[in-house]
């Protein structure tokens, strides 16, 4: 892969937020070195990318996805990666989860890929986490809460169990396996450019096509992304005193974290997880408040945003789904300790307008989007032992134990 170095960087305390980077070649060849005097382009040899992928887990949260879409996503993930599928699909009246397991088992015979699957609401999983004192992810029934973020955090715990250095997240509703392949290699390129062990790589889609008037329209931004990015940039601008538009990936479902950073972050429930990562990084490492992580402050945190070459074709889940995503993002920013009063008022007005389209009941967003504790509070060896012994839905393929 060949891409440019960051052309511009916003800095907040120990946090560096790099402007969107452009890819010039998806495959820049096997040859070593770079036969040019350019100092603005970074080239990754195939072996460099492959070595990083060996240390990476790709987490796929699934809920009632079309099996053909799941097959396509799995086919696009490079073989070097460990794949962790966390499903929250219904088990009755038709057992969708068993259908997913059957699909993955059959594909696994031909792919020779290392795959792990678990159901998010496995009762044993909830019991294990409760026993280990990690109850911020649990619902009142003792099982892991419903929600995308909760599934992603379960995936993080499993990736750490297999001692992976990097974790990437891919949504399961992608129609283009080649785009999935590009996302994973973008993750690897970002980690290869990082100058700190604490890094976050976020995908910026070049286009998100929509069908309008029987033809494809290649839109640059969706409504939710545009509003989320605008408000995250407003938060950053208010903190620094200088207006900026550097953040372009506030709702990026396709993103990756180095494990040392992933272990240290809090996570916000449901669809608020992606924008909350920005908020949590600002609060922990932006020099705004006292930090419990002096080593990370010393090394710094880098956020990369890398634009794809493939457009992003995904399942259209309707306006209600988009409104839920937008509400989650706005509530997350408004709830930040760093959010100034004027911006908070603006965010509350935007949420009130959304509420008019849904219901007139006042919402307690702190209860609706609870915060999940960092996974570094979970004893890794104990979690692994208990999961292998007790979780009925914990399936492994490709020689994993």
Average pLDDT on 51-71 reads 95
Q: CA 364 to CA 218: how far, in whole Å?
A: 37
The answer on pLDDT for 341 being more than 60 is: yes
The answer on pLDDT for 152 being more than 80 is: yes
pLDDT confidence band for 88 (50 / 70 / 90):
very high
Average pLDDT on 393-397 reads 96
Token pair 């603006």 is found at 346
The answer on pLDDT for 24 being more than 50 is: yes
Token pair 């640059």 is found at 220
The answer on pLDDT for 299 being more than 70 is: yes
Percent of the chain with pLDDT over 90: 78
For β-strands 56-62 and 166-169, DSSP reports them as parallel
Average pLDDT on 262-291 reads 94
Please provide the CATH number assigned to the domain covering 2-397: 3.90.550.10
Residue in 373, 271, 284 with CA at minimum distance from that of residue 332: 271
Q: CA 11 to CA 285: how far, in whole Å?
A: 11
74-83, 354-363, 388-397: segment of lowest average pLDDT: 354-363
In Å, what is the CA distance from 371 to each residue of 60, 92, 209, 241, 262? 21, 29, 33, 28, 15
The answer on pLDDT for 361 being more than 60 is: no
27-31, 71-75, 322-326, 344-348: segment of lowest average pLDDT: 27-31
191-200, 201-210, 340-349: segment of lowest average pLDDT: 201-210
Q: CA 149 to CA 400: how far, in whole Å?
A: 25
Average pLDDT on 32-44 reads 70
What pLDDT score does 40 carry?
Answer: 86
What pLDDT score does 323 carry?
Answer: 87
Mean pLDDT (the chain, rounded) = 91
Residue in 70, 107, 68 with CA at minimum distance from that of residue 86: 70
pLDDT confidence band for 315 (50 / 70 / 90):
low
The answer on pLDDT for 360 being more than 70 is: no
The structure's pTM equals 0.93
């Amino acid at each position: 892969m060949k891409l440019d170095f960051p052309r511009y960087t916003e800095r907040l305390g120990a946090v560096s937020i790099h402007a969107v980077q452009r890819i010039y070649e998806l495959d820049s060849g096997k040859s070593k070195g770079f036969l040019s005097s350019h100092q603005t382009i970074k080239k990754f040899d195939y072996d460099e990318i492959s070595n990083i992928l060996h240390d990476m887990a790709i987490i796929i949260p699934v809920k009632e996805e079309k099996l053909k879409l799941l097959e396509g996503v799995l086919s696009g993930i490079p073989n070097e990666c460990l794949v962790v599928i966390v499903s929250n699909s219904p088990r009755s009246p038709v057992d969708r989860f068993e259908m997913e397991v059957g699909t993955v088992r059959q594909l696994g015979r031909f792919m020779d890929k290392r795959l792990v699957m678990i159901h998010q609401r496995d009762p044993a999983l909830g019991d294990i986490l409760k026993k280990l004192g990690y109850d911020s992810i649990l619902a009142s029934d003792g099982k892991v809460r419903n929600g995308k973020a909760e599934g992603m955090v379960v995936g993080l715990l499993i990736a750490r169990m297999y001692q992976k250095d990097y974790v990437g997240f891919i949504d399961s509703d992608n129609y283009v396996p080649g785009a999935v392949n590009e996302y994973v290699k973008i993750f690897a390129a970002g980690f290869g450019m990082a100058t700190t062990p604490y890094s976050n790589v976020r995908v910026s889609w070049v286009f998100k096509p929509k069908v309008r008037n029987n033809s494809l329209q290649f839109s640059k931004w969706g409504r939710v992304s545009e509003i989320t990015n605008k408000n995250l940039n407003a938060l950053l601008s208010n903190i620094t005193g200088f207006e900026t538009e550097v953040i372009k990936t506030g709702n990026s479902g396709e993103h990756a974290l180095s494990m040392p950073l992933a272990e240290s972050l809090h996570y916000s429930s449901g669809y608020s997880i992606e924008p909350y990562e920005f908020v949590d990084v600002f609060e922990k490492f932006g020099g705004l408040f006292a930090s419990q992580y002096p080593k990370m402050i010393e090394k710094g945190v880098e956020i990369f945003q890398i634009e794809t070459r493939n457009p992003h074709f995904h399942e259209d889940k309707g306006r209600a789904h988009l409104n839920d995503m937008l509400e989650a993002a706005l509530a997350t920013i408004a709830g930040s300790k760093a959010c100034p009063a004027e911006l908070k008022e603006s965010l509350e007005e935007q949420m009130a307008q959304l509420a008019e389209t849904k219901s007139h009941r006042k919402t307690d967003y702190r209860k609706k989007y609870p915060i999940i504790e960092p996974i570094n509070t979970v004893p890794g060896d104990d979690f692994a032992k208990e999961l292998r012994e007790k979780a009925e839905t914990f399936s492994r393929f490709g020689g994993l134990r």
